[in-house]
Amino acid sequence: MTDVDKAISTAVKTGRVLFGANNAVKSAKLGRAKIIIVASNCQRNVMDDIMYYSKLSDVQVIIYKGSSIDLGITCGKLFMVSALTIRETGDSDILTLIEKTSESVEESKIEAVEKTNA
């Protein structure tokens, strides 16, 4: 998780980032985000809107394991951040990091299925 935190922090410092759930919904509707990060304690109706519109516009959504307070601290802000929209990653390698973790999750799911079938 510290790698993801570091990548988010770098994206906030060097890239183009928007804070807040309203900005995340707008960016998901318009398809202008590279990735949207949502805190685990984000309101259910807001999270559903972000997920729905991001599927329509093919924007990747990541559920942050911490709360909105933790996401705000990771971003270096003194307020809660329920959703974070990354439009430009800057010097951050968050997109490659997310791809690697999603591939390893898929591989572990495949291994688990093979073990249960054996």
- pLDDT above 70 as % of the chain: 82
**What does the domain layout of the chain look like in residue ranges?**
2-117
Q: What is the mean pLDDT of the chain?
A: 83
At 110 the pLDDT is 41
Query: Which numeric CATH code is attached to 2-117?
Result: 3.30.1330.30
Band of the pLDDT at 2, cuts 50, 70, 90?
A: low
At 92 the pLDDT is 84
**Alpha helices, DSSP H, located in the chain:** 2-14, 21-30, 44-57, 68-75, 94-117
In this predicted structure, the answer to whether residue 93 has a pLDDT above a threshold of 90 is: no
Q: Is 64 helix (H, G, I), strand (E, B) or coil?
A: strand
pLDDT tens for 30-78 read 998 999 999 999 999 999 999 999 999 999 998 988 899 999 999 998 9
In this predicted structure, the answer to whether residue 105 has a pLDDT above a threshold of 60 is: no
Q: Rounded to whole angstroms, how far apart are CA atoms 60 and 68?
A: 19
113 vs 16, 101, 103, CA distance in Å? Answer: 40, 18, 15
Question: Phi and psi of 39, rounded to 5°?
Answer: -65, 150
CA–centroid distance for 89 within its chain: 12
5 vs 9, 23, 71, 97, CA distance in Å? Answer: 6, 21, 8, 11
Instruction: Considering only residues 104 and 26, tell me which one the structure prediction assigns the higher pLDDT.
Output: 26
